[in-house]
């Protein structure tokens, strides 16, 4: 086994991208230093953190003088740090399939972000912040495109144009997942791999929001995959341990309140397929 000094991960407790990197770290058995940011308090916008990650998002991995951004890239990097439990398959077709999923995570993350903010996050923000506070919060987002999206979603919720586009991205994701899981137990075949790590936090988030009906009827292969993953120690240590039962229960209750309208939009999308 390769020896390596502990790396440092800047992450958020319930951030889906942070969660998937934590899963990878546990699977690899790597030691790492935790720098947990309070995202609700806006610690990701502190100047010291922005010097590491100018986008003001998590996670960020620091290894000596190397700073690695983007969760999918971080997964590949940590896999290179140790020979223990290789996360990337060796079969060329499986490698291509895995890297395909890593690239798709950009669209998948955008969709999960949209549904989270258009439902429970929007409700919380509108209930606790005044208009000037909301404006100030959005003004701290460094990326103008991301700031404009956040403004639109807070203003319009599930009626935001971003929702329709991201439902399309999720439909494509579920379709490809269903096909892959019809061929093997895991996304890249019979062996658990980085492809599964890349997606677990996103599907888990949708389930915690009470949105599992997005796939449970039309794409039944996904639920057994999710339940199988929830038996892995990496899930328990990297996701479950950061999501107390009361927090999950509250998230599901709040999310379920938005499900009727989301279901209407989802069914309308499916009818036009």
Q: How far is CA 38 from CA 134, 178, 250, in A?
A: 17, 35, 19
Domain 92-271 = CATH 1.20.1050.10: yes
| pLDDT above 90 as % of the chain | 95
Answer for the pair 59, 14: CB distance below 8 angstroms, yes or no.
Answer: no
* pLDDT at 272 (0 to 100): 87
- pLDDT at residue 254 is higher than 50: yes
Tokens of 169: 């991205």
Q: Which helix (H) or strand (E) holds 16?
A: helix 16-28
Answer for the pair 44, 58: CB distance below 8 angstroms, yes or no.
Answer: yes
Write out pLDDT tens, residues 48-69.
Answer: 999 999 999 999 999 999 999 9
Write out pLDDT tens, residues 152-190.
Answer: 999 999 999 999 999 999 999 999 999 999 999 999 989
Q: Residue 211: which residues within 8 A CB-CB, separation 6 or more?
A: 115, 255, 259, 262
Instruction: Decide whether 7-80 matches 92-271 in CATH topology.
Output: no
pTM of the full predicted structure?
Answer: 0.95
CA distance 122 to 272: 28
16-25, 50-59, 238-247: range with lowest mean pLDDT = 238-247
Write out pLDDT tens, residues 116-145.
Answer: 999 999 999 999 999 999 999 999 999 999
Q: Which of 19, 78, 11 lies closest to 237, judged by CA?
A: 19
User: Over the chain, what is the mean pLDDT?
Assistant: 95
* pLDDT at 3 (0 to 100): 60
- pLDDT at residue 214 is higher than 80: yes
Tokens of 119: 């439902």
Q: Which of 82, 71, 74 lies closest to 104, judged by CA?
A: 71
What are the extents of the domains in the chain?
Answer: 7-80, 92-271
What architecture is the 7-80 domain classified under in CATH? 3-Layer(aba) Sandwich (3.40)
* pLDDT at 50 (0 to 100): 96
| pLDDT above 70 as % of the chain | 99
Tokens of 258: 């938005």
- pLDDT at residue 1 is higher than 50: no
* pLDDT at 112 (0 to 100): 97
């Amino acid at each position: 086994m390769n020896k390596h000094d502990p790396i440092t991960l800047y992450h958020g407790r319930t951030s889906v991208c942070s969660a998937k990197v934590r899963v990878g770290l546990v699977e690899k058995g790597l030691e790492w230093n935790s720098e947990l940011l309070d995202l609700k308090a806006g610690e990701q916008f502190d100047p010291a953190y922005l010097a590491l990650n100018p986008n003001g998002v998590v996670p960020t991995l620091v290894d000596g003088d190397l700073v690695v951004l983007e969760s999918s890239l971080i997964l590949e990097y940590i896999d290179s740090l140790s020979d223990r439990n290789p996360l990337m398959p060796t079969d060329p077709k499986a490698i291509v399939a895995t890297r395909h999923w890593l690239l798709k995570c950009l669209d998948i993350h955008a969709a999960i972000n949209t549904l989270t903010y258009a439902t429970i996050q929007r409700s919380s923000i509108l209930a606790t912040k005044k208009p000037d506070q909301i404006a100030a919060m959005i003004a701290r987002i460094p990326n103008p495109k991301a700031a404009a999206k956040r403004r639109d979603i807070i203003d319009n919720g599930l009626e935001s144009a971003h929702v329709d586009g991201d439902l399309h991205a999720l439909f494509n994701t579920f379709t490809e997942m269903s096909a892959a899981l019809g061929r093997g137990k895991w996304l890249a075949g019979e062996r658990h791999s980085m492809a599964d790590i890349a997606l677990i936090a996103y599907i888990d988030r949708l389930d915690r929001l009470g949105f599992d009906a997005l796939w449970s009827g039309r794409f039944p292969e996904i639920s057994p995959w999710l339940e199988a993953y929830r038996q892995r120690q990496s899930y328990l240590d990297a996701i479950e341990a950061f999501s107390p039962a009361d927090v999950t229960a509250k998230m599901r209750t709040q999310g379920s309140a938005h499900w009727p309208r989301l279901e209407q939009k989802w069914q309308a999308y499916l009818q036009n397929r």
